[in-house]
Amino acid sequence: MLTRAVFRGLGDSRSPNSATVLELLFDIVYVFALARLAGRVADDLTIVRQTLLSEAGQTVLFFTAMWMIWSLNALLASTYDPRRPELQAVLLATMFGTLVLAVTLPQAFGQRGVIFACAYVVIQVGRPLFLAFALQGHTVHAFSIRVLTWHLTSGVLWISGGISGGFGRGVFWTLALAIEMIGAATTYPLPRTGGRQLSTLGVTVSQAHLAERYNQFFMIALAEVVLEAGAAVSFPGFSTGGTIVLVASFVAVVSFWRIYFYHVGSGHASTSSGEGIQLSRWASYSLLLIVGGIICTAVGFGQIIEDPHPPIDWALVTIVFGGPVLFLLGRSFLETESRLAPRCRALYVGALALTVIAPLMVLLPPVAVAAAASLVLAGIAVADQRVHRRGSETNPTL
């Protein structure tokens, strides 16, 4: 009876259209986490080539794991009212756990593996465990149990990987993360229940709130480009090459912003209030590509500022040009597609152009490569604007 009194109304609460201040505070931890991940990408570019793929694979695993935490938290706050005290407690606990994960990142495949695994499992199991306890008797309680079951299964693999170490750690953690991603994509089916849309399970998600959270996180990721380039220029100071790359990074930031907020698939109009297209079912994974692409671009520009002398390494070219390609692909899949409104091909053409040009960049000095990448990205932004002929900024995910 006491439990029902404390959590009364939680299942029927609705998320506001705008994000709360606590959610913005939660994102502060991810500023630190993204900086840590950017540092890992930079380290991957400076290690011996024989271990590059394995190191890069570890970085992708960490990035995806951190993203799973953020996206599920955003979904929680977009489903129930995040202003309720119990949900604020969950957000704060997750925030602290994420801080622990970010601190352990550099040694997560070393001596801090058990700490990383335990912290991650506590976050991912604790959230659905709380909901399963708080939503007893409510129609959405069954869905909480489904989510909890999937995360308990993956949690066993996370802990096993933390204990095993070495090659086994990578195998266990990869399987665990794959389970979580498959579960999220299929709405966590269980035997005899199958996978259904959230709306058919009694779960109502505020598209407006979730869209704003995505936009805010995009802006945080965008700041990483400025931080990486600015920090690289700050010491030893301005130089001709460094200044050129700094300007190129600024052009890239503006291009990312322009494409993200102004690109709208054909047939999707936007109202004066900023409402327009709806989130696709794969929107979370789309933003994963978007943020990953921005981080790669930031690291690539920062590395060129620190070492502008030719020749340029093929791996660095891949990072500098691959980042915008990931961004364009992610942005193109952010929208809901219908027969009456097919997906716009402008961004696909841009991604193809970057892919075709990239191999030629190994013949140019690093500074020229950074300038070329930003100019191509700016050209894509201008071309996309001419295709849609939009005159005012829109919220891309509403």
DSSP state of 110: T
End-to-end CA distance of the chain: 40
Taking alpha carbons only, the member of 255, 393, 395 closest to residue 334 is 395
231 is written with which tokens?
A: 């920090």
Q: Tell me which of 213-227, 289-303, 336-350 is least confident.
A: 336-350
**When comparing pLDDT for 37 and 342, which is higher?**
37
List of E strands, 27-174: none
pLDDT at residue 397 in the model: 44
**344 with 387: CB under 8 angstroms?**
yes
pLDDT 10s digits, 35-83: 888 888 887 776 654 555 667 888 899 999 999 999 999 999 998 999 9
Alpha-carbon separation of residue 347 from 56, 259, 338, 364, 384 (angstroms): 26, 9, 18, 25, 7
218 is written with which tokens?
A: 């995009």
Confidence class for position 97, pLDDT limits 50, 70, 90: very high
Instruction: State the burial class of residue 9 (Cβ atoms within 10 Å of its Cβ: 0-12, 13-18, 19+).
Output: exposed
Alpha helices, DSSP H only, in 194-282? 207-234, 240-262
As a whole number, mean pLDDT of residues 348-360 equals 93
**Res. 202: pLDDT tops 90:** no
Mean pLDDT of the chain: 84
Taking alpha carbons only, the member of 316, 382, 394, 391 closest to residue 353 is 382
One-letter amino acid for residue 112 of the chain = R
Confidence class for position 390, pLDDT limits 50, 70, 90: low
pLDDT at residue 262 in the model: 81
- Cis ω for the linkage preceding 324 (within 30 of 0): no
Q: Tell me which of 9-13, 95-99, 157-161, 270-274 is least confident.
A: 270-274
pLDDT at residue 195 in the model: 57
One-letter amino acid for residue 16 of the chain = P
Confidence class for position 336, pLDDT limits 50, 70, 90: low
pLDDT 10s digits, 252-303: 999 999 999 887 654 343 333 333 335 666 788 899 999 999 999 999 999 8
Contacts 24+ apart (CB under 8 A), 99-105: 99/29, 99/32, 101/33, 101/65, 101/66, 101/69, 102/29, 102/32, 102/33, 102/36, 102/66, 105/33, 105/36, 105/37, 105/40, 105/62
Q: What is the Cβ-side half-sphere exposure of residue 22, based on CA atoms within 13 angstroms?
A: 19
pLDDT at residue 279 in the model: 66
280 is written with which tokens?
A: 């696709």
**308 with 241: CB under 8 angstroms?**
yes
**335 with 280: CB under 8 angstroms?**
yes
Q: Measured between alpha carbons, how far is 239 from 176 in angstroms, rounded to an integer?
A: 46
Taking alpha carbons only, the member of 258, 271, 281 closest to residue 328 is 258
pLDDT at residue 270 in the model: 36
Instruction: Write down the domain spans for the chain.
Output: 2-201, 207-388
How much of the chain, in percent, has pLDDT values that exceed 70? 83
Q: Measured between alpha carbons, how far is 324 from 375 in angstroms, rounded to an integer?
A: 12
Q: Tell me which of 206-215, 239-248, 337-346 is least confident.
A: 337-346
